[in-house]
Structure 1
Amino acid sequence: MSTLRPALVSMLALLGSTTLLASMTAQADALEQQREALHNNVQVIAHRGASGYAPEHTWYAYDKALAMGTDYLELDVHMSADGHLVAIHDTTLERTTDGQGPVKEHSLDELKALDAGSWFNRAHPEYADDAYAGAKLLTLDDVIDRYGQDVRYYIETKSPKDYPELQDALVNKLEAEGLVQSGSVVIQSFSQASLQEVHKLNPDIPLIQLLWYSPSEDGKTLEEWTGVTPSPADITDADFQTIAEYADGVGPNYLYEGGPVIDASFIEQAHANDLLVHVYTINDQDQMHQLLDWGVDGLFTNFPDRLKGVLAEVE
């Protein structure tokens, strides 16, 4: 017995090492496949789900987006007063629910009691559906429990200054569910600090630095909302390289009050600095064609079927 035990221990150790190596290899392959897809295919990013057709961040919007063949479900996450990650865009409840006040001041039970669907029927009667009335807010847990690793998620950290623990909670959840390892998630934010923290927590997660360009106070130049970059006209390779130190791409707006704020040269320069360009939020098919001609790598849209149709035309 004493003679067999060391051999058995060695065999189990070898099997354990082999299993671990196989697991690490599979994870590396999944992450590489995700990055190849991000670089080689135009990504259809369903903005808050198919939110043009159904109330945003509800099962109705998510299920419709997936049925349309979207590549990523885009989710905005805030935190409830009791620490749950909740899928909702605004910091406050008034626009998309029958509640009031900041999300962060309500417990999950209070948030779950709200009607997150009826507003859509009033705002968009052309797409109204009686079934939307009474739709509930969802947690990130709800969404992952429903779709698991069969879906890819494009998650925005919202108002990170209001939730210092948001990044840690989000990364822990994604890792625990195997979504980072399976190449199933991208994280985006307007907050450079939020993305840099996520990068430190797990450098395998693809990150997108969101950008919002609008006229400066003098009205003569454009400026980026958070100061991450200068005006698109003045942006340098060094500016893009600073972003590339922690992120895989940029997510700029295309228009401000109907006028373009970026052009083909912006996209070319980003690409020259090894950054993806995912533009938001494009619902007009002519604009989709224009941006695809310029070489964008992905588009956020409220109408994934429209973008899928355009992509089918140009393939």
Structure 2
Amino acid sequence: MSTLVIGHRGAPGYRPEHTRSSYELALAQGVDAVEPDVVVSKDGVLVVRHENEISTTTDVADRPEFAARRVTKRFAGYELTGWFTEDFTWDELSRLRCRERLPKLRPDNTAYDGQEPMLRLRDVLELAAAADRGVVVELKHAVYFASIGWDLPGLVAAELHAAGWADGIHPLVIESFESTALAQVREQGIVARYVYLLEATGTPVDLALAQGRDAPTYAWTASPPGLDSLVGQVDGISVDKAFLTGATRPGTLVADAHARGLLAYTWTCRPENTFLSRPYRRGGGKRAFGDYTGEWGMLRDLGVDGVFADHPDLAVAVFRR
């Protein structure tokens, strides 16, 4: 079976992430699925953004009518100042325009700044259904949203039902760094593959809040005993590629997952030197493309089941070779 190629927030190597043109380009370049990150607006609309803080991906900071919305919020262990989706209605958010999140790294994408509005989850589902492709829905900050009164898993489940994506008609994956959020969506009868996202370091915020120092780390979860604990709870894992490119246990994690009947995805495949593991970096600086075909070919040969890519056309060429 070939590796599933997933357009990570669309095709952000070529267009500002989470825009309509980014998703349309990813679909045109032949991805199997696209991946929207989902957060919540003030009036309960599911908004597609990398984070609920939107000053780096929209023109909100330049809008004088929203200057007073700039606030500092405290999350699990850190503070963040900016503008947050949960403080805006969808009508207000729809007036903003998207920007390139990494302008110094991807300056060509800034040519598209200010041209497109934000999207809702419903918009991405419609685009994917029209193209007969899958969607990988990532739930962001479910514990935080619950603390301010929003049931993110419940909202996602309701939207999938309303949009005709709940019964397995379309290829659907639900993913999150919070395993409790995955369980809550699954309990509502959504037919999908459930994939647990694992950072290279740290501890899941939902488990840390519930269990304190006894909470399992992401690294432990990627170990054989940790993978054992996931059997029957999720369908697979999606790991920071540092797990596979020279960090914890290169070459064994995918096989360990498969031995337990778990899928193994990895993120994120990006060709620029700054994102490649050291052996695959080449000259030309951070923005220059390194030996991405070497790194990605190694991931392909490990047998990963899915990859998230910013440049879908390049990933299709490597992973479907």
Q: Percent identity?
A: 28
AA in 1 matched with 2:162: A
Q: Distance in 2 between matches of 1:202 and 1:233?
A: 26
> For residue 97 of structure 1, what is the aligned residue in structure 2?
58
| 1:97 and 1:114 in contact (8 A); partners too | yes
AA in 2 matched with 1:60: S
Q: Distance in 2 between matches of 1:46 and 1:267?
A: 21
Q: Which of 13, 38, 49 is equivalent to 1:52?
A: 13
AA in 2 matched with 1:139: R
Q: Distance in 2 between matches of 1:229 and 1:88?
A: 26
Q: Distance in 1 between matches of 2:317 and 2:31?
A: 12
TM-score, with structure 2 as normaliser:
0.75
What aligned pairs does 1:54-69 form with structure 2 within 5 A after superposition? 54-69=15-30
| 1:280 and 1:300 in contact (8 A); partners too | yes
> For residue 90 of structure 2, what is the aligned residue in structure 1?
108
TM-score, with structure 1 as normaliser:
0.76
Q: Given the alignment of the two structures, is residue 154 of structure 1 paired with residue 139 of structure 2, yes or no?
A: no
Q: Distance in 2 between matches of 1:279 and 1:191?
A: 17
Q: Distance in 1 between matches of 2:95 and 2:268?
A: 30
Q: 1:275 to 1:86 in 2, by over 3 A?
A: same
> For residue 236 of structure 1, what is the aligned residue in structure 2?
224
SS in 2 for 1:296: coil
> For residue 192 of structure 1, what is the aligned residue in structure 2?
179
AA in 1 matched with 2:195: I
| 1:213 and 1:224 in contact (8 A); partners too | no
> For residue 161 of structure 2, what is the aligned residue in structure 1?
175
Q: Distance in 2 between matches of 1:233 and 1:159?
A: 19
| 2:200 and 2:218 in contact (8 A); partners too | no
Query: Which region of structure 1 is more displaced relative to structure 2, 80-89 or 142-151?
Result: 142-151
> For residue 266 of structure 1, what is the aligned residue in structure 2?
253
Structure 2: gaps of 5 or more residues? 61-81, 206-214, 271-291
> Normalized per residue, which structure has more helix?
1
Q: Distance in 2 between matches of 1:198 and 1:246?
A: 12
Q: Distance in 2 between matches of 1:90 and 1:287?
A: 28
Q: 1:306 to 1:146 in 2, by over 3 A?
A: closer
Q: Distance in 2 between matches of 1:42 and 1:228?
A: 29
Alpha-carbon deviations, 1:93-140, whole Å to 9, x = none? 1111122411111111121111213666665223443x4423111011
Q: Distance in 1 between matches of 2:180 and 2:22?
A: 30
| TM-aligned CA deviation for residue 168 of structure 1 | 1.1
Q: Which of 110, 119, 143 is equivalent to 1:138?
A: 119
AA in 1 matched with 2:126: D
Q: Distance in 1 between matches of 2:269 and 2:43?
A: 35
| TM-aligned CA deviation for residue 263 of structure 1 | 1.6
> For residue 302 of structure 1, what is the aligned residue in structure 2?
310
SS in 2 for 1:167: helix
Q: 1:259 to 1:98 in 2, by over 3 A?
A: farther
| 2:7 and 2:308 in contact (8 A); partners too | yes
Q: 1:232 to 1:163 in 2, by over 3 A?
A: closer
Please identify runs of 4+ aligned residues in structure 1 that moved more than 6 A. none
Q: 1:235 to 1:119 in 2, by over 3 A?
A: closer
Aligned residues: 263
SS in 2 for 1:198: helix
Q: Distance in 2 between matches of 1:54 and 1:123?
A: 13
| 2:174 and 2:194 in contact (8 A); partners too | yes
Alpha-carbon deviations, 1:198-230, whole Å to 9, x = none? 12112632110000013xxxxxxxx55555556
